[in-house]
Every structure is written in C-alpha cells, then in structure tokens.
Amino acid sequence: MCPSPGTEGVERGYVIPIGGAEEKLSNPTILEKFVKLCGGENCRIIVIPTASQLDETGPTYVDLFHELGAGDVVSMPIESRSDAKREDYLSELKAADGVFITGGNQLRLSTILGGTPVAQAIRWLNAHGTHIAGTSAGAAIMPEHMIVGGGGGSTPTEDGVTLAPGLGLTNSFIIDQHFRQRDRLGRLLSALSYNPFVTGIGLDEDTAAFIDADGVFEVVGSGAITVVDPSGLEYSSMGHVQAGDPVSLIGLKMHVLADGGCFDSRIRVANMP
C-alpha cells in the first residue's frame, strides 16, 4: 500500500512514531515539538485512544496537550468499526492540524480502524499536510506493514515476528517500539528478512522519529533509534529454514542514532549534526 496521493504544491505532513513511555511531565520534549509543529496555540489536535481500553487515556492526553499550549484538543473514542464511520468524527478530523494515536494493543487499532472512513481520512489528511503522531501501538500501525508480535532477543528466526496491515502512511519504513527496553532486534530483523525493501527503525522509549515529506527523519528524545538498512543484503536463509530456526542475514547495515541524529531513506545515509 502506497501512501495516499497528495496534491501538487501541498507538502505532506510529518509522520511521527514514538517508542512508547514518552516523558509527559518533567521534560516532554517530543510532545512539545509535536504541538509546536501543529501550530501551538492556533492548532487543533485530535487524540485517538482506540488502542487503549482505559477510559482515562484520551482525556489524559487532552489535558496534557492543553498544558503544552495546544489551542483545541479533542479525544475521539472510537470503540467499534461503526464509530469509525461516524460523520461527526469525520468532520472533526477534517479540521485537524495534528492527529495523535495513543498506545495500547495494535491489533485493536487494525481491527477497528482498518479500511474504515476514519483510516482513509487519516491517510488523506497526512497527504495534505496534517501531522500524524503515535506512541507505542500508535507508532507500530503507521507503516504499510505493522509488527504485532514476536519474541525477544537479538537473533532473527523463521517465526520471529507476526505482521499485519498498517495504515500505510509510509512504505519506506517498518517500525518497532519499546526497542531496547524489550530486546526486539531479532523480531525487527525477522520482519526485514520478509521484505528487504524497507528500512527498519527500532524506537527506544521516550524517543521519536520526526519523518518529513521526503522520508528524512530526525531523532528526538532521551533514547536512541536503531536503523537497520537491508538495501545491501547479499544473502538470507529465510526462504529455506525450518520453523523456529535462526535466520542468516549477510550484508545488513546498522546505525544507532541518538537525539539530533538524522537518516535519509532516499539515499540510505545517516548523519549526526
């Protein structure tokens, strides 16, 4: 699935996956940058708490974004596929400068939002300049292919990852979150062995990739982003190993980028300022 077609002369909005557990109180750098990007006191942010089953998740982010200077913030409690077709919700979305998708269970996101008018609206909005941020599960669903499960550890295996369709806001990256904290290198590598076209990004907690319209991202936050570039892959054993076996991958390139680091997906080049 390619990102939604844009309009000539209109720049796409940022796609901002966050690794989860973003700082909300003492130094909320990521959320502050998101609010500023959306327009600060003049902006309208829609919070989608669908992934979470906690009633307080949406209102918590509404209060937080108000405290950070956002002008208008609305929580949209989409709990069913019928909710994702509501005309009043679609009207609210069309006026958004930013959309924030909370954490929780990414399969709730895909099974409730997938293919609905709300999902289509989010894709259209991003193509026409609205910034889309998501944390944890909300980050995982952003690309074309969404990681929904898999074991920990650093070694890729034949059955090391479970994938499902994502929102398709980008087809240049596949995203994993809580990366270092939950030891998820192996499952990201397993995902890349299925599709060596994309670049893998593993987001530590309290760390975000601010991906611009050209597929260039900047790292923001207290952790790091592990970038796995499979474009030079010379050999993969994924096609002939047995269930549960480790997978050999030769020719991968990996970068670890802390705050301020950048990666250009067009030319596969990483740099620090």
Q: What pLDDT was estimated at residue 83? A: 98
pLDDT band, very low/low/confident/very high, at 6 (cuts 50, 70, 90): confident
Q: What pLDDT was estimated at residue 4? A: 79
What average pLDDT does the segment 203-223 reach? Answer: 98
Report percent pLDDT > 90 for the chain. Answer: 95
Q: Is 170 within 8 Å of 184 (Cβ atoms)?
A: no
Report percent pLDDT > 70 for the chain. Answer: 100
Q: What pLDDT was estimated at residue 1? A: 65
Burial of 66 (0-12, 13-18, 19+ CB in 10 A): middle
Host domain of residue 54: 15-268
Note the Cα 9 to chain centre separation in Å. 25
In this predicted structure, the answer to whether residue 111 has a pLDDT above a threshold of 90 is yes
In this predicted structure, the answer to whether residue 229 has a pLDDT above a threshold of 80 is yes
Q: Quote the number of domains for the chain.
A: 1
8 in a domain, yes or no? no
Q: What pLDDT was estimated at residue 167? A: 97
7 in a domain, yes or no? no
171 in a domain, yes or no? yes
Q: CA 18 to CA 208: how far, in whole Å?
A: 4
pLDDT band, very low/low/confident/very high, at 195 (cuts 50, 70, 90): confident
Long-range contacts of 58-62 (CB under 8 A, 24+ apart): 58/102, 61/100, 61/102
182 in a domain, yes or no? yes
Q: What pLDDT was estimated at residue 5? A: 80
Q: What is the pTM of this model?
A: 0.97
Fill in the amino acid letter for 42.
N
179 in a domain, yes or no? yes
43 in a domain, yes or no? yes
What average pLDDT does the segment 229-240 reach? Answer: 96
In this predicted structure, the answer to whether residue 193 has a pLDDT above a threshold of 80 is yes
pLDDT tens-digit profile of 35-46? 999 999 999 999
pLDDT tens-digit profile of 112-159? 999 999 999 999 999 999 999 999 999 999 999 999 999 999 999 999
Catalytic residues: 136, 178, 205
pLDDT tens-digit profile of 33-74? 999 999 999 999 999 999 999 999 999 999 999 999 999 999
Return the H-helix or E-strand segment holding 228: strand 224-229
27 in a domain, yes or no? yes
pLDDT band, very low/low/confident/very high, at 7 (cuts 50, 70, 90): confident
Q: What pLDDT was estimated at residue 98? A: 98
Q: Is 99 within 8 Å of 93 (Cβ atoms)?
A: yes
Domain of 44, CATH number, reads 3.40.50.880
Residue 145, strand partner residues:
165
Q: CA 189 to CA 91: how far, in whole Å?
A: 40
Burial of 71 (0-12, 13-18, 19+ CB in 10 A): middle
Q: CA 21 to CA 72: how far, in whole Å?
A: 24
Number of CB atoms found within 10 A of residue 9's CB: 5
5 in a domain, yes or no? no
